């Protein structure tokens, strides 16, 4: 099949490479010339495990090309996938200007019978607007479907090659048959629903997971007041099959390119339809306050950050990515510097991405041991593999009193950290 992928960001490049690896003829299209130039030369402009290799392989096989030309990409395509960004507008609603711009630009080149898939995360009702925009620019028959994307950065290639399910939001029988065939080589779990349900399913998945993180944080706060350990509490409920042991992350709250904006968008949607007592509004609000509240707590604990050196481990929003969108470091590092701290920071992949976003006084170093050299406080923000098995004795020897070790991801046994000569502070324990 001939597939055009509009938008070669995180989702676009992964999707284009995966469908090309299945033998489809794929063209990736973006308005960002630098990005396309890099991709043409076989270089993924961001870090995602396994993607670089897949890109080079599919390009060498001749299944994947890149262009900035709508005419080249869309002409002859059986399927056009829209994967442009959908950031939150100032009022929290989804800003759909890139989706609409892509719809307008593709219209003159669509071939008869083409299927346009909206993979960007968009609110219900978007497809009719997209349909209206395309219809203004073409005379051919085309159909629109929603196939939301559920991949996770850090495991995006694996998630796309072997998804738990593909949700296809379509009503036209031919479209359903074509898209089912396309996705069946990836998963047998193809769920056919109406487009509005597919769009809501995407929000529902992210908002549910974000709510689980918020729930764990709320539990953690209570545990800190009564001697319980939130990790033990979660172990105590996880065996209940209705609850499960997976996806419990008490910590700094959720970040990244999707959860914060998707929760904000569903909260804004709830407000616009008059559902002002929504749990989604509360989750967004609690998450916004999470880091400032924790920092106030930590400030008291250490007797004020002013004049103290803090070693920061982890700048990306999660492990195995260099994506810093809504990363905890972007709130914590400026907070520390505003409160008089000296910051030394490290990350395996995201230093270059962080530099323009953080205050210029930050010192960047190569590894965790360098970050905590001469530091009063170590803050583990992101659980990269190399930060999960630190030589605690070496960390303690590099630091100066009071040697606080803030384990914001609950990765360490508090007793082992204490035995190494550090003062342990986890989340909810």
Ligand X SMILES: NC(=O)c1ccc[n+]([C@@H]2O[C@H](COP(=O)([O-])OP(=O)(O)OC[C@H]3O[C@@H](n4cnc5c(N)ncnc54)[C@H](O)[C@@H]3O)[C@@H](O)[C@H]2O)c1
- Binding residue for ligand X (CB under 6 A) from 22, 25, 32, 186? 32
Question: Is residue 281 near ligand X by the rule CB under 6 A?
Answer: no
* Alpha carbon distance 119, 115 (integer Å): 12
Query: Considering beta carbons, is residue 159 or 229 the nearer one to ligand X?
Result: 159
- Helix/strand/coil percentages in the chain, nearest 5: 45, 15, 40
For residues 247 and 281, the answer to whether their CB atoms sit within 8 Å is no
Residues 99-118 that bind ligand X (CB under 6 A): 101-102, 105
Question: Is residue 120 near ligand X by the rule CB under 6 A?
Answer: yes
For residues 64 and 55, the answer to whether their CB atoms sit within 8 Å is yes
Backbone φ/ψ region at 428: left (φ over 0), alpha (ψ -120 to 50), beta? left
Q: How far is the CB of 170 from ligand X (least distance, A)?
A: 18
Question: Is residue 10 near ligand X by the rule CB under 6 A?
Answer: yes
Report which of 40, 67, 69 is spatially closest to residue 56, judged by C-alpha positions: 40
Q: How far is the CB of 190 from ligand X (least distance, A)?
A: 18
Q: Which stretch binds ligand X (CB under 6 A): 26-34, 163-171, 208-216, 291-299?
A: 26-34
Return the beta strands (E) in 185-261 as ranges. 190-193
Query: Considering beta carbons, is residue 143 or 149 the nearer one to ligand X?
Result: 149
Query: Considering beta carbons, is residue 10 or 269 the nearer one to ligand X?
Result: 10
For residues 369 and 398, the answer to whether their CB atoms sit within 8 Å is yes
Taking residue 277's Cβ as centre, other Cβ atoms within 10 Å add up to 8
Q: How far is the CB of 25 from ligand X (least distance, A)?
A: 19
Q: How far is the CB of 146 from ligand X (least distance, A)?
A: 12
Write out the DSSP string of 370-406: HHTTT-SEEEE-S--HHHHS--HHHHHHH--TT-EEE
Active-site residue, from 258, 345, 382, 422: 258
Annotate each residue in 45-84 with x if it binds ligand X (CB under 6 A) or - if it does not, as one string: --------------------------------------xx
- Which structure tokens are listed for 192? 């056919």
Q: How far is the CB of 67 from ligand X (least distance, A)?
A: 10
For residues 383 and 319, the answer to whether their CB atoms sit within 8 Å is yes
Question: Is residue 85 near ligand X by the rule CB under 6 A?
Answer: yes
- Bridge partners of 118? 82, 146
- Which structure tokens are listed for 418? 């204490």
| Alpha-carbon distances, residue 371 vs 334, 374, 390 (angstroms) | 17, 9, 12
Question: Is residue 258 near ligand X by the rule CB under 6 A?
Answer: yes
Question: Is residue 209 near ligand X by the rule CB under 6 A?
Answer: no
Say whether 5 is catalytic: no
Question: Is residue 166 near ligand X by the rule CB under 6 A?
Answer: no
54: preceding bond cis by omega (within 30 degrees): no
Query: Considering beta carbons, is residue 200 or 345 the nearer one to ligand X?
Result: 200
- Binding residue for ligand X (CB under 6 A) from 3, 4, 5, 9? 9
Q: How far is the CB of 201 from ligand X (least distance, A)?
A: 12
- Binding residue for ligand X (CB under 6 A) from 3, 21, 30, 160? 30
- Binding residue for ligand X (CB under 6 A) from 35, 183, 344, 376? 35
* Alpha carbon distance 213, 230 (integer Å): 12
The alpha carbon of residue 166 and the mean position of all alpha carbons in its chain are separated, in whole angstroms, by 19
402: preceding bond cis by omega (within 30 degrees): yes
Return the beta strands (E) in 83-198 as ranges. 114-118, 142-146, 166-169, 190-193
Q: How far is the CB of 43 from ligand X (least distance, A)?
A: 14
For residues 170 and 222, the answer to whether their CB atoms sit within 8 Å is no
Question: Is residue 8 near ligand X by the rule CB under 6 A?
Answer: yes
Q: Which stretch binds ligand X (CB under 6 A): 23-31, 52-60, 186-194, 303-311?
A: 23-31
Query: Considering beta carbons, is residue 165 or 373 the nearer one to ligand X?
Result: 165
Q: Which stretch binds ligand X (CB under 6 A): 10-18, 139-147, 171-179, 348-356?
A: 10-18
Total binding residues for ligand X by CB under 6 A? 27
Report which of 119, 120, 39, 131 is spatially closest to residue 85, judged by C-alpha positions: 120
Question: Is residue 158 near ligand X by the rule CB under 6 A?
Answer: no
Question: Is residue 121 near ligand X by the rule CB under 6 A?
Answer: yes
Question: Is residue 328 near ligand X by the rule CB under 6 A?
Answer: no
- Bridge partners of 346? 313
Question: Is residue 127 near ligand X by the rule CB under 6 A?
Answer: no
Residues in touch with ligand X (CB under 6 A)? 6-12, 29-32, 35, 83-86, 98, 101-102, 105, 120-121, 149, 151, 153, 257-258
Catalytic residues: 258
């Amino acid at each position: 099949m001939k597939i055009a992928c509009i938008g070669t960001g995180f989702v676009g490049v992964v999707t284009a490479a995966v469908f090309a690896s299945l033998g489809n003829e794929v063209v990736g299209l973006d308005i960002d010339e630098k990005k396309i130039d890099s991709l043409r030369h076989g270089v993924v402009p961001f870090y995602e495990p396994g993607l670089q290799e897949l890109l080079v392989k599919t390009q060498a096989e001749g299944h994947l090309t890149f262009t900035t030309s709508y005419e080249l990409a869309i002409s002859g395509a059986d399927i056009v996938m829209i994967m442009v960004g959908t950031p939150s507008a100032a009022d929290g609603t989804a800003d759909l200007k890139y989706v609409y711009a892509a719809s307008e630009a593709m219209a003159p080149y669509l071939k008869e019978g083409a299927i346009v898939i909206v993979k960007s995360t968009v609110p219900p009702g978007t497809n009719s607007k997209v349909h209206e925009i395309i219809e203004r620019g073409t005379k051919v028959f085309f159909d629109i479907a929603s196939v939301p994307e559920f991949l996770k950065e850090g495991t995006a290639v694996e998630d796309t090659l072997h998804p738990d399910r593909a949700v296809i939001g379509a009503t036209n029988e031919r479209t359903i048959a074509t898209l089912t065939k396309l996705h069946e080589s990836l998963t047998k779990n193809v769920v056919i629903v109406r487009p509005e349900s597919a769009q809501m399913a995407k929000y529902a998945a992210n908002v549910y997971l974000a709510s689980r993180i918020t729930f764990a944080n709320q539990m953690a706060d209570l545990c800190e007041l009564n001697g319980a350990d939130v990790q033990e509490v979660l172990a105590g409920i996880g065996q209940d099959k209705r609850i499960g042991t997976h996806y419990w992350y008490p910590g700094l709250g959720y970040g990244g390119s999707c959860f914060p904006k998707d929760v904000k968008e569903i909260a804004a949607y709830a407000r616009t339809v008059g559902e002002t007592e929504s749990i989604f509004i509360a989750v967004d609000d609690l998450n916004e306050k999470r880091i400032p509240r924790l920092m106030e707590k930590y400030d008291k604990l250490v007797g004020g950050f002013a004049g103290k050196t803090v070693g920061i481990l982890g700048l990306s929003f999660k492990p195995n990515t260099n994506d810093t969108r809504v990363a905890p470091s972007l709130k914590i590092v400026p907070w520390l510097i505003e409160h008089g701290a000296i910051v030394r920071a490290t990350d395996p992949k995201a230093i270059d991405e962080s530099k323009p976003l953080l205050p210029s006084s930050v010192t960047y170093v190569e590894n965790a041991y360098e970050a905590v050299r001469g530091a009063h406080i170590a803050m583990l923000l992101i659980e990269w593999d190399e930060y999960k098995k630190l030589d605690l004795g070496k960390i303690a020897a590099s630091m100066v009193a009071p040697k606080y070790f803030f384990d914001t991801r609950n990765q360490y046994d508090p007793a082992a950290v204490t035995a190494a000569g550090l003062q342990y502070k986890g989340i909810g324990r």
